[in-house]
Amino acid sequence: MAGITQEKILYLNVTKGRMIHKTKEKGITHDFNGYEGHFLGIRERISDYEGKPQTKVELKMKDTGSDEIVIIQFTKKAWAAHGLLASIGKVDLSKPFTVKVWGSDENEKMSFCGLQQQGYKYIENRKCIDPDKSFPKPIAVTISGEKTWDWTAVFTATDAVIKSITEKTQALAPAVETTEIEEEAETWANPDVSPMPNTTDDLPF
């Protein structure tokens, strides 16, 4: 099947309450706080930034109003990724949905994420789907007198959600009406832009 070239994919990095596309040559060329589209895939990917590995959760979508394909990149150890993974299990992935991100009044580097889809009861503050309350949160721990956060349980749940969704969507693949979308969902391209650094939005509320 036909693959997707890098030029056809728009990479959006979640940072400071926004989804942005930025290159060294042009700077920020796209800036959103919400994106509506059809689900194409989700995965975890480890990339390199200035010699340091960084782990991202990548959500691949097709725009509802055009042929645009986007990959929204979330730092795995961050509240935005937590919000995405705690909510996506409640979404009907065969129908369009909206990814919303917003910032924190207390920490400009912190981002949060929620999902919207017709037919679901929204929580009041951001009009987003109420996330799964059983999805774990980081645990405060003290190591050598320093307070830090243990994300082990969160990462285990994250990996389980990604695996479950991948298996579920692969099983439903024959029901996809558009061959083009089916083909695009099978192929991931690597970013044609320099990776963004991990943000320091890995602090609890």
pLDDT at 193 over 70: no
Q: Output the pLDDT for position 184.
A: 41
pLDDT tens by residue, 30-67: 878 888 999 999 999 988 777 788 899 999 999 988 88
Q: What is the mean pLDDT of residues 170-193?
A: 46
Q: Output the pLDDT for position 22.
A: 79
Tell me how far apart the alpha carbons of residues 162 and 185 are, in angstroms, rounded to a whole number: 15
In the structure, what pLDDT confidence band is assigned to residue 8 with cuts at 50, 70 and 90? confident
Q: Output the pLDDT for position 172.
A: 59
In the structure, what pLDDT confidence band is assigned to residue 169 with cuts at 50, 70 and 90? confident
Q: Output the pLDDT for position 121.
A: 52
Q: Output the pLDDT for position 39.
A: 94
The rounded percent of the chain whose pLDDT value lies above 90 is 35
Tell me how far apart the alpha carbons of residues 105 and 205 are, in angstroms, rounded to a whole number: 11
Q: What is the mean pLDDT of residues 133-147?
A: 90
Q: Output the pLDDT for position 199.
A: 44
pLDDT tens by residue, 92-136: 999 999 999 988 888 888 899 989 887 655 544 557 888 888 899
Q: Output the pLDDT for position 128.
A: 80
pLDDT at 203 over 60: no
Positive or negative: CA dihedral 56, 20, 38, 69: negative
Find the angle CA(83)-CA(193)-CA(86) to the nearest 5 degrees.
10
Whether the full predicted model's pTM is greater than 0.95, yes or no, is no
